[in-house]
Structure formats: structure tokens, C-alpha cells
Amino acid sequence: MTQVAPERSALTDKLGVDIDPELLSLALTHRSWAYEHGQGPHNERLEFLGDSVLGQAVTVRLFTANPSLDEGALAKRRASVVSTVALAHVARGIGLGAHVKLGRGEEQTGGRDKDSILADTMEAVIGATYLSVGPEAATGLVLRLIDPLLADPDRYGAAVDPKTTLQELASRTGSTPPVYEVTSTGPDHNRLFSATVTVGDYSAHGTGSSKKQAEMAAALHAWRELSARG
């Protein structure tokens, strides 16, 4: 019988589900690790499955819990709580980053705390849960993780389109429009983009696996800081 490593046992305890050890290991394997270990399997297929499970669970919960909301409002709420930023927040809450298997490059560039890696791994874990214990238990896991976000839908609304949200905030406050500068490092198959956005006299930074993701991360950080200033 395959034994679960103690640290991964701690993770499954937090999740409250008994995930097959091999599927859990696969769910935690980032493609950067696979590239460095002979092009082995990684978690992107499980991520694909988990994304579907997540979307269905959230859609049904929103539909049944909010009979007065129209399609547009439901779609906006769903987008906010299944966004990369929201899922990364959930992943940090269970300490998921410590368990991800990363290649050296990602490890050196802070991959364990990157929103994109955390969110994708969270979806892969949901996919592994579905295959291990079935749709009912997987849906239960999703709702346990996501319910706090559903109770506060505006918190992550800006995560859906942070660049537009930041631009609107700048316009309302009379600040200069956001200006972005983007640089990149690393090989083509594992490039890291870093963005800086400047609004008036304030600047914020963000990273991502694409120029768009980096700009969105920087915009979201800027929006949160400037909104908090009032």
C-alpha cells in the first residue's frame, strides 16, 4: 500500500478528504518539475478536470442561493470567486504552496507563492479529489473552500478585470491613467514576466507567466492599496 508522506498527510487533513496518494502527488507536480525530471507527467490534466468541477459546484450554489439575481449578476459573482487571485487566496489558507513540486527555476523565482501556480494546483487537487472519492465529495470540498468567498462576493470582484477596475478608480480620483512597464526573464518554455504599474505617484508590482497576467497582478495590487487609502 502506498504511504502518504507526513507533510501531504497534513494537507489531506486540512482538506478533509482521503485523496489517493498517487493522484495527490500528480496534482502537486508542476510542469517545471516534470521538465527537469525526464518530461514526466504533471498536473495540467487534473487542473482541467478540477476547473470543471469547481465551475459546476460554484454555479449551482450561486443559482440556488440567489434566486433574485439575474444571469449577468450570477456570472459576475462566479467569475470573482473562481478567479486566479481568489483561488490563490484559498490555496494559501491551506498552506498548499509548501507541498507543490517545482523545478529549480520556479523555486528560485518564488513559485510557491505565485498566484497562477497556486490557483492551478488548487484546481488539480480538486480534480484529484473527484477521481479519488467521487463528485459528491469533490463538490463538498469546493464548497467548504469557496463558501467564505461566496459570502463576500465583492472582495474579489476586482480580480476579474483588475486593469479596467484600476483605470476606473484612477478616473474617479483624478489620478493620471495607469502606465505599465513589463520585463521578462527565463527560458521560453518557463518565462517569468514582471510588471510595474504607476498611477500618479504610486507604483505596484506583479508577476505572472505571461505579460497579461503580470499586468493584471500589478493592477490588482495597486487597486487594493489605492482603494484602502480611500
Binding residues are: 47, 120, 123
Residue whose C-alpha is closest to residue 28's, from 157, 165, 120: 120
Cα separations in angstroms, 134 against 11, 15, 62, 114, 130:
19, 15, 21, 29, 5
Of the listed 106, 115, 123, 215, which one is catalytic? 123
**159 contacts 82 by C-beta, under 8 angstroms:** no
Active site residue 123: yes
Half-sphere exposure of 83 (CA within 13 A, CB side): 25
**194 in helix, strand or coil?**
strand
Task: For residues 188 and 24, give the distance between their C-alpha atoms in angstroms, rounded to a whole number.
Answer: 28
- Residues that constitute the known binding site for Mg(2+): 47, 120, 123
Of the listed 51, 106, 115, 215, which one is catalytic? 51
Active site residue 7: no
The strand pairing partners of 192, in sequence order, are 185
Catalytic center residues = 51, 123
